[in-house]
Structure 1
Amino acid sequence: MKQFAYLAILIVSIASVGCRATKKINTVIAKKDSAVTTIIADAHADSLRYIREVYGKLAENTIDYKTFSAKMKVEYWDKDGKGPDLTVFVRMQKDSVIWLSVNATVFSYEAFRILITPDSVKLLNKQDKIVQLRSAKYLEEVAQIPFDFHAVQELIIGNPLFLDSNIVSYRKGPETISLLSMGELFKNLITIGVDNYLLQHIKLDDQNARRNRTADLSFSNYNGQGGVAFSTYRKMSFTEKSKIDVQMEFKQYAFNESLSYPFSIPKNYSIQ
């Protein structure tokens, strides 16, 4: 059950990373097709304007909201094979609270309830009648990656992660545009649609080569419900000393409704 609890945190904290060596970002950039890669340092003024335009369009597609709620099916695979299917209910108030109810689908019961704020993480393990009270740093400890509250909510909503304006190269193909940025922590390759500028793929590689941490995220099945382009299907792989693959399929979702975030600790629960 402890491993299951860590998985519940993983769902929202883009956590683990795996043993399989992955391609370096420059290899991905250099893949041969009809696209042309332009190094920004050597780019002409028109290329720089193009990058600013694409970056601006990507920023315009960032989802803004007050509240968000959803039901999603979560599947995952780790070194031990496929884990149990999960049904996860999400409620969020932007920059304030993330509430999760994690249900073991096969048993049809709520296994965990999680409440995350910018300062704290609270986890109810209903099977073992345990509550864990932690600081927000717990997300980073479990994830082994520098994730804060803001990054977690961006992951759930489907906005770009670790977006940095320090673009060092770009690559334009017939259907996609890729931007490579060099942040303090990661090399970040973001791929968007050439026509709609919607996020399709994120490839993160640790700047510290000795860590060899990578994250590979894809976004698809966009739905325009409520006038918001929202990705209803996500595939994620995290790799360092071990590897975990996660699939998230949003069955229903809504923006800007009035929500509650119930989280009470029963008296018979032990505190850890």
Structure 2
Amino acid sequence: MKHLIIIFSAVLAITLSTESCRTTKHISKAIAPKDSVVNIIPENTSAADSLKMIQATMAKLQSHYIDYKTFNAKIKVEYEDSKGKQPDITAVVRIIKDSAIWVSLSATILNFEVYRMLITKDSVILMNKRDKEVQYRSLDYLQDVTEIPFDYKTIQDILIGNPIFLDSNVVSYKKVDSKILVSTIGQFFKNLLTLSDDNNLLLHSKLDDVDVNRNRTADITYDDFENKNGIDFSTYREITVSEKNKLDIRMNYKQYEFNKELSVSFSIPKNFKRK
């Protein structure tokens, strides 16, 4: 019964958040030799010029941050785990920023709505239309289902395409061919960003949990950008999460629009069982 929920919850919750405290010792251990960051000062560049370069890069990256009031999209979701490729899902997503995320999940091959979800900052309602059941849970429930803790804002940013866990503490900067590599370290995560050299669009994010005991990583690739009304939007994403097992997700945005009037009403039939 939970299969489709688990799949799309994983799409929503691809984060590496953790609530436990980390120590400086853990952070230093997280930067393994194979992931060693490059010198923050580019060759033949003064420290002052290097700092200006980094500040300008991060400012331009921030300028691509998508601000909006509402978002509506139809997404084809492909999913593959240790058991192989799973059936495709069609997801219809409606977001009222910082308020509610409404999701309809259908089995693509059947074109039949199976699940509906309403996510707020502190709660989740899961409606199983096939079995005529509805579940009321706290937001922590999705963390338990996916075993990937997250918060409401991160769910929004994943769906919109904004950077996640982007810390201001830049520890490395390097230009490679037509790309810019920037590494940041926050209290919980190391984030290696790949940006386009021409306009600093986010192309890839590699997240590593600083708690090496978890050995948890996520790779997010952003591709097929479109610019409508001044918004650079990635219409194709690839997300890979690995710890003990590997999870591959591909999200293809077939339709999307910002700042249109939309409804997130969530009516539940009286004959549905409450759980």
**TM-score, length basis structure 1:** 0.90
Residue 192 (structure 1) aligned to one of 188, 192, 195: 195
Equivalence for 2:226: 223
Report the 3-state secondary structure (helix = DSSP H, G, I; strand = E; otherwise coil) of the residue aligned with 1:263: coil
Report the Cα offset of residue 29 of structure 1: 5.7
Report the Cα offset of residue 4 of structure 1: 2.3
Contact 1:76 1:246 in 2 (8 A): yes
Report the 3-state secondary structure (helix = DSSP H, G, I; strand = E; otherwise coil) of the residue aligned with 1:85: strand
Report the Cα offset of residue 146 of structure 1: 3.1
Instruction: Name the CA distance, whole Å, in 1 between partners of 2:112 and 2:32.
Output: 42
Residue 126 (structure 2) aligned to one of 123, 127, 145: 123
Report the 3-state secondary structure (helix = DSSP H, G, I; strand = E; otherwise coil) of the residue aligned with 1:210: coil
Report the Cα offset of residue 227 of structure 1: 2.0
Could you list the per-position Cα deviations for residues 2-55 of structure 1 after superposition, in whole angstroms to 9, with x for gaps in the alignment?
222211222211169xxxxxx97753566xxxxxx3236x97121111111111
Contact 2:4 2:115 in 1 (8 A): no
Instruction: Name the CA distance, whole Å, in 1 between partners of 2:129 and 2:83.
Output: 24
Equivalence for 2:20: none
Equivalence for 1:34: none
Q: In the alignment, does 2:13 pair up with 1:13?
A: yes
Residue 162 (structure 1) aligned to one of 165, 170, 188: 165
**Closer, same or farther: CA 221–24 of 1 in aligned 2, 3 Å:** farther
Matched ranges for 1:126-205 at <5 A? 126-205=129-208
Equivalence for 2:26: none
Matched ranges for 1:27-42 at <5 A? 27-28=34-35, 37-39=38-40
Instruction: Name the CA distance, whole Å, in 1 between partners of 2:104 and 2:262.
Output: 14
Contact 1:87 1:105 in 2 (8 A): yes
**Closer, same or farther: CA 24–250 of 1 in aligned 2, 3 Å:** farther
Contact 1:217 1:234 in 2 (8 A): yes
Instruction: Name the CA distance, whole Å, in 2 between partners of 1:59 and 1:29.
Output: 25
Instruction: Name the CA distance, whole Å, in 1 between partners of 2:75 and 2:57.
Output: 31
Give the letter aligned to residue 116 of structure 1: I
| Structure 2: tracts of 5 or more residues without a match | 17-29
Give the CA RMSD over aligned residues.
2.0
Give the letter aligned to residue 225 of structure 2: Y
Percent identical pairs in the alignment equals: 48
What is the total number of aligned residue pairs between the two structures? 259
Give the letter aligned to residue 163 of structure 1: L
Residue 113 (structure 1) aligned to one of 92, 116, 124: 116
Equivalence for 1:74: 77
Contact 2:15 2:154 in 1 (8 A): no
Instruction: Name the CA distance, whole Å, in 2 between partners of 1:145 and 1:56.
Output: 30
Give the letter aligned to residue 190 of structure 2: K
Could you list the per-position Cα deviations for residues 219-246 of structure 1 after superposition, in whole angstroms to 9, with x for gaps in the alignment?
0000012221100000010001211100
Give the letter aligned to residue 108 of structure 2: T
Instruction: Name the CA distance, whole Å, in 1 between partners of 2:240 and 2:106.
Output: 22
